[in-house]
């Protein structure tokens, strides 16, 4: 499927009016309609649309025919004529029938938030997996709306294939789309199997994996680049990253881990998109530790943090060890700074500040899950000491006669792989040894 370009036939950017309907149900959803609409402006600009203006209506329930009320529809029609508008973009999901009715009544292209996000994704997808996932999401979104799309369908490749005997045009299109969906799922399974194999191999090798997660535009890719010199795209656009990128990261103690950048989240993320991107999002699920990056400079930061937590819960990753990081503090005003919530252990950093990055790395090292223990190795076994340094995080080293004592934190995966070699030299759990200095629960 070709991505939609949001250009008029004359090569000019489409001009759009952005419309939001606030209902009782949306008020309960926890999202602030004004912020959501501001975000829609951002999404539209990301897609290459020129935003002419915004409109908001409060109503108990959506109108089944027009979505907005009749009076509002007339107001929209007036503005479309006055401001030479090509497209109306709705912040909420429309039914196929509503799209058709509005198209007919307003004589403009009608798009909803989901479709806009799908179009942005379509324009961004580069890898085979990304392209397959986006097309799957687009077709899944389109199928139930097929009858409703009038003029709009043509840009989504209407009139696909040939008609079977006795079939209407609509039935033919539906059949083709279903076949294509089946085909896409098969192809995706192949690609995914490949990725899972990679992941399994890394796991077996005892490599610790950390995933960067967070709202779109929080600074995940910037952090990956700053920490690992990775050549990844970071820009002030929504959904700059679609495909996960993994790089090796060396922690201050010398231990090497893998850091993965993932696709950003957004509120009201289209469900079809979450489903289609499941294998990509699984990267977060498979990680040993999540680095949750929040844009501290955003007025929506608390909502954004909640949305990410919600999506992680949906993915089954809610209980994962997570390090919360407020990024972009260089762009936060001093008066706003104390308001940053998120518990005492949340880090506040600027991805542009080297010292902040060093603090982050130290904190990461500490946050890595694993068993802390003491190894007592014969001084002659330099090979074992080297192994311990390679796979573990050595907190302290001292010698006692002909023995080397290492206070070390070993990742569970490391222990599974190397435990056989190191286990015989394990003395005791370090927690027992340091009992005279107990740690308050939750203060870590
Ligand atoms: N002022 C400031 N800007 C930052 C900081 N970190 C990132 N940015 C900017 O924020 C924008 C988004 O950064 P990205 O790294 O692309 O964000 P992302 O989380 O990867 O976004 P998606 O890939 O869209 O999910 C870019 O313009 C960065 O230059 C920071 O610490 N301070
Ligand atoms: Mg990114």
Tokens read off for 227: 């920490």
Higher per-residue confidence, 435 vs 119: 119
27-36, 49-58, 162-171, 342-351: the lowest-pLDDT one: 162-171
Across the chain, what does the average pLDDT equal? 82
Check pLDDT > 90 for residue 291: yes
Overall average pLDDT of the 407-436 stretch: 65
pLDDT by residue (tens digit) across 326-335? Answer: 999 999 877 7
Tokens read off for 364: 């990461």
Closest ligand 1 atom, residue 350 Cα:
31
What per-residue confidence (pLDDT) applies to 237?
78
Q: Which of 222, 230, 265 to mutate to test the pocket of ligand 1 (most atoms within 8 A of CB)?
A: 222
pLDDT by residue (tens digit) across 274-283? Answer: 777 777 777 7
Tokens read off for 68: 């907005």
CB 129 within 8 A of CB 10: no
**What is the CATH T-level fold of the domain 371-433, as seen in this structure?**
Alpha-Beta Plaits (3.30.70)
What per-residue confidence (pLDDT) applies to 341?
57
Task: Please tell me if the CB atom of residue 350 comes closer than 6 angstroms to any atom of ligand 1.
Answer: yes
Closest ligand 1 atom, residue 233 Cα:
16
pLDDT by residue (tens digit) across 45-102? Answer: 999 999 999 999 999 999 989 999 999 999 999 999 999 999 999 999 898 889 999 9
Cβ neighbours around 8 below 10 Å, total? 13
Q: Within the chain, which residue ranges are assigned CATH 3.40.50.11060? A: 15-124
Distance 208 CA to ligand 2 centre (A): 21
The class (CATH top level) of 15-124 is alpha beta
CA-to-CA distance for 428 and 253, rounded, in angstroms? 22
Can you list the positions of beta strands (E) in 161-275?
209-214, 245-250, 256-261
Q: Which of 242, 351, 359 to mutate to test the pocket of ligand 1 (most atoms within 8 A of CB)?
A: 351
What per-residue confidence (pLDDT) applies to 416?
63
Check pLDDT > 60 for residue 442: no
Residue 343's φ and ψ, nearest 5 degrees, are 85, 160
Overall average pLDDT of the 220-236 stretch: 87
For residue 236, the ligand closest to its alpha carbon is 1
What per-residue confidence (pLDDT) applies to 177?
93
Q: Does domain 207-367 have CATH number 3.40.50.300?
A: yes
What per-residue confidence (pLDDT) applies to 344?
60
Task: Please tell me if the CB atom of residue 241 comes closer than 6 angstroms to any atom of ligand 1.
Answer: yes
Distance 217 CA to ligand 2 centre (A): 7
Distance 263 CA to ligand 1 centre (A): 13
Task: Please tell me if the CB atom of residue 218 comes closer than 6 angstroms to any atom of ligand 1.
Answer: yes
CB 343 within 8 A of CB 324: yes
Overall average pLDDT of the 257-269 stretch: 86
What pairs with residue 373 in β-bridges?
Answer: 408, 429
Tokens read off for 73: 């529809």
pLDDT-derived band at 414, boundaries 50, 70, 90: low
Cβ neighbours around 298 below 10 Å, total? 19
For residue 225, the ligand closest to its alpha carbon is 1
Check pLDDT > 70 for residue 433: no
Distance 238 CA to ligand 1 centre (A): 10
Distance 327 CA to ligand 1 centre (A): 9
Closest ligand 1 atom, residue 216 Cα:
25
What per-residue confidence (pLDDT) applies to 163?
55
Check pLDDT > 70 for residue 158: no
Overall average pLDDT of the 120-136 stretch: 88
Q: Within the chain, which residue ranges are assigned CATH 3.30.70.240? A: 371-433
What per-residue confidence (pLDDT) applies to 425?
86
Distance 228 CA to ligand 2 centre (A): 14
CA-to-CA dists, residue 4 to 14, 36, 116, 153, angstroms = 11, 22, 9, 12
- Cβ neighbours of residue 29 closer than 8 Å, sequence gap 6 or more: none
**For the chain, percent of residues with pLDDT exceeding 90:** 39
Distance 371 CA to ligand 2 centre (A): 32
Residue 230's φ and ψ, nearest 5 degrees, are -65, 145
What per-residue confidence (pLDDT) applies to 435?
39
CA-to-CA distance for 1 and 188, rounded, in angstroms? 16
- Cβ neighbours of residue 101 closer than 8 Å, sequence gap 6 or more: 65, 66
Q: Within the chain, which residue ranges are assigned CATH 3.40.50.300? A: 207-367
Alpha-carbon torsion 433, 435, 440, 441, what sign? positive
CA-to-CA dists, residue 197 to 39, 104, 190, 213, 413, angstroms = 38, 50, 11, 22, 17
What per-residue confidence (pLDDT) applies to 369?
65
């Amino acid at each position: 499927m070709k991505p939609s370009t949001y250009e008029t036939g004359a090569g000019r950017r489409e001009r759009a009016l952005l419309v939001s309907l606030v209902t009782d149900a949306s008020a309960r959803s926890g999202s602030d309609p004004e912020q959501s609409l501001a975000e829609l402006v951002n999404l539209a600009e990301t897609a290459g649309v020129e935003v002419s203006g915004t409109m908001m209506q409060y109503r108990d329930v959506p109108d089944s025919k027009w979505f907005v009320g009749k009076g509002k529809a007339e107001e929209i029609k007036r503005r479309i004529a006055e401001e030479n508008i090509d497209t109306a973009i709705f912040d909420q999901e429309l039914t196929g029938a509503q799209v058709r009715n509005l198209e007919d009544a307003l004589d403009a292209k009608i798009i909803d938030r989901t479709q806009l996000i799908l179009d942005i994704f379509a324009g961004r997808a580069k890898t085979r997996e990304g392209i397959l996932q986006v097309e799957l999401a687009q077709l899944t979104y389109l199928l139930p709306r097929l009858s409703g799309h009038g003029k709009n369908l043509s840009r989504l490749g209407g009139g696909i294939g040939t008609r079977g005997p006795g079939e209407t045009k609509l039935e033919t299109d539906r059949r083709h789309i279903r076949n294509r969906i089946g085909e896409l799922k098969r192809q995706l399974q192949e690609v995914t199997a490949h990725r899972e194999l990679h992941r399994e191999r890394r796991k077996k090798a005892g490599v610790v994996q950390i995933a960067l997660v967070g709202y779109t535009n929080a600074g995940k890719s910037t952090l990956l680049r700053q920490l690992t010199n990775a050549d990844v795209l970071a820009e002030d656009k929504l959904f700059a990253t679609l495909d996960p990128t993994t790089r090796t990261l060396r922690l201050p103690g010398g231990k090497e881990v893998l850091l993965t950048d993932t696709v950003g989240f957004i509120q009201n993320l289209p469900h079809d998109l979450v489903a289609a991107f499941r294998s990509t999002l699984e990267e977060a699920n498979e990680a040993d530790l999540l680095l949750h990056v929040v844009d501290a400079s955003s007025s929506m930061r608390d909502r954004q943090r909640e949305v990410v937590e919600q999506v992680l819960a949906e993915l089954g990753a809610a209980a994962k060890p997570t390090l919360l990081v407020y990024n972009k503090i260089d762009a936060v005003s001093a008066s706003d700074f104390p308001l940053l919530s998120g518990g005492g252990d949340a880090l506040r950093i600027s991805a542009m500040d080297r010292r902040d990055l060093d603090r982050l790395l130290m904190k990461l090292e500490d946050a890595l899950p694993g068993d802390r223990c003491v190894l007592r190795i014969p001084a002659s076994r330099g090979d074992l000491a080297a192994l311990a340094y390679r796979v573990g995080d050595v907190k302290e080293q001292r010698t006692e006669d002909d023995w080397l004592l290492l206070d070390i934190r070993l990742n569970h995966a490391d222990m599974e792989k190397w435990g056989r070699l190191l286990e015989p030299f394990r003395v005791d759990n370090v927690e027992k040894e340091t009992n005279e200095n107990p740690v308050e629960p939750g203060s870590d």
